[in-house]
Every structure is written in structure tokens, then in C-alpha cells.
Chains A and B, each alone.
Chain A
Amino acid sequence: ETGVTQSPTHLIKTRGQQVTLRCSSQSGHNTVSWYQQALGQGPQFIFQYYREEENGRGNFPPRFSGLQFPNYSSELNVNALELDDSALYLCASSLDGWDTQYFGPGTRLTVL
């Protein structure tokens, strides 16, 4: 059983740009969730996808969007980047909903 992987590891963007972060879930896991973790803080839930449909969303604006694909990969897209978007972005997969989540190592995004 392979773990959850994320790419890239690090990324630097400038304010106003768009970014796409990628996640590869464990095979057979129907649910993927994305989180934003600012330095020194706990993760904040962005949204969850179940079988390619958004299944729940935290308090994030529409410029944060996602996609989940049938091959257990997913994307987090952020438009019009702001300085406060600088954070570690984590994805987590689970068999179903809020079952045990398996987290990836994260993508560190820096917005200048």
C-alpha cells in the first residue's frame, strides 16, 4: 500500500498569480480532503471531495477550488494569490468520508 504523495514539495509564487497543487491518494480511497496550515498553527479544513464531487467546505473563498479524478489523484487550485496564502498545504485521503485520514507530507507555498 503506497502512501499519500504531494507535489511539488515547495513552490514560490507572486501575489496575483494562480497555483495548482497535486495530491495522489492511496489506491481505493474515495475521499480526499485539503487543508491549509499556517506556520505555528493547526491545519484549517479547505474542502473535501468524495467520488469527484465536493462533499464539504470550510471557510475559504471561491478562489480556492479543487478537482478529484478517477485515478485517485486530485488538485487544489488557488487563484489571485494573496500574501496570506503562504502556508503548508496538506491533502489527506480516506476510504470514506471522515474515516481515518492518511496525510501527505504537504506542499510549502510561499507567496511574495
Chain B
Amino acid sequence: DAKTTQPNSMESNEEEPVHLPCNHSTISGTDYIHWYRQLPSQGPEYVIHGLTSNVNNRMASLAIAEDRKSSTLILHRATLRDAAVYYCILQTGANNLFFGTGTRLTVIP
């Protein structure tokens, strides 16, 4: 069973906010939520991570639902350089890591 589920693709206009959803209904109390993104022909790049509270950094914000069964990665102003596959990832207490299938974000100029 997939640990996280994400839409296959999303589109956004340049300079508009983007909300990328992720469902992780089987999450347990000690599981962390990570987001990485991957550009073509490159390794993934760290975006953000969190446990229970919402998190902000210079790249993005992570909004975690109160029941922790879903989360949303927020890019405040999409740029063309943000076009990538975004992975929602669960890090379990058993020291295992589960990538989702990823959402391909297209940014329209």
C-alpha cells in the first residue's frame, strides 16, 4: 500500500501561489513529512519537512492537517524554475522512508 498519494500533475500560472496536496492517511505519531523536488536529469532537492506544526522556510510553506492525515506544500509565487516533480515523503519511526509517486508541476508563463 502506498504511504502517500499525490495528484499526478498540476499546472500553475507564473507568479501565482501553488498548493500541492498529499494524503498520508496511515501516518503514525512519530512519522515525519518531507517534501523534495526533482528537476529532469537531476537528483531530488530538499524543499521542507515537518512533524505536526506548520513550517515555513525561504522556499515554501508546509501546512499539516490537524489529524495529520494530509498536508499541503505551498509555493507562494511560482516561477519557471519551480517546474519539477514534487515528492511527498513519509519518514517512519522504523527508520524507513517512503516516497510518493510525485506531482509534476507545470508553470505557465
> A42 contacts B99, CB within 8 Å?
yes
Q: Which 6 A-B pairs have the closest CB atoms?
A: A103-B43, A56-B95, A42-B99, A45-B97, A100-B46, A103-B44
- Which B residues between 73 and 109 are near A, CB-CB below 8 angstroms? 87, 91, 94-102
**A contact residues around B94 at 8 Å (CB):** 56
**B contact residues around A43 at 8 Å (CB):** 44, 87, 99
| Interface range for B | 20 to 34
**A contact residues around B34 at 8 Å (CB):** 98
Tally of contact residues, A, Cβ under 8 A: 23
CA distance A45 to B100 in the complex (A): 11
Q: Which residue of A lies closest to B41 (CB)?
A: A105
- Which B residues between 25 and 61 are near A, CB-CB below 8 angstroms? 32, 34, 36, 41-46, 49
A: residues with CB less than 8 A from B are: 4, 33, 41-45, 48, 55-58, 90, 92, 97-98, 100-106
**A contact residues around B99 at 8 Å (CB):** 42-45
> B102 contacts A42, CB within 8 Å?
yes
Question: Could you list 27 examples of A-B contacts with CB < 8 Å?
Answer: A4-B43, A42-B87, A42-B99, A43-B87, A43-B99, A44-B99, A45-B96, A45-B97, A45-B99, A56-B94, A56-B95, A56-B96, A56-B97, A57-B96, A58-B96, A58-B97, A98-B32, A98-B34, A98-B49, A98-B97, A100-B46, A101-B46, A102-B46, A103-B45, A105-B41, A105-B42, A106-B43
**A contact residues around B102 at 8 Å (CB):** 42
CA distance A97 to B43 in the complex (A): 18
CA distance A57 to B96 in the complex (A): 6
> A55 contacts B95, CB within 8 Å?
yes
User: How many Å from the CB of B92 to the closest CB on chain A?
Assistant: 9
Partner of B43, one of A41, A55, A58, A104: A104
Known: A98-B32, A98-B34. A42 touches B43 (CB 8 A): no
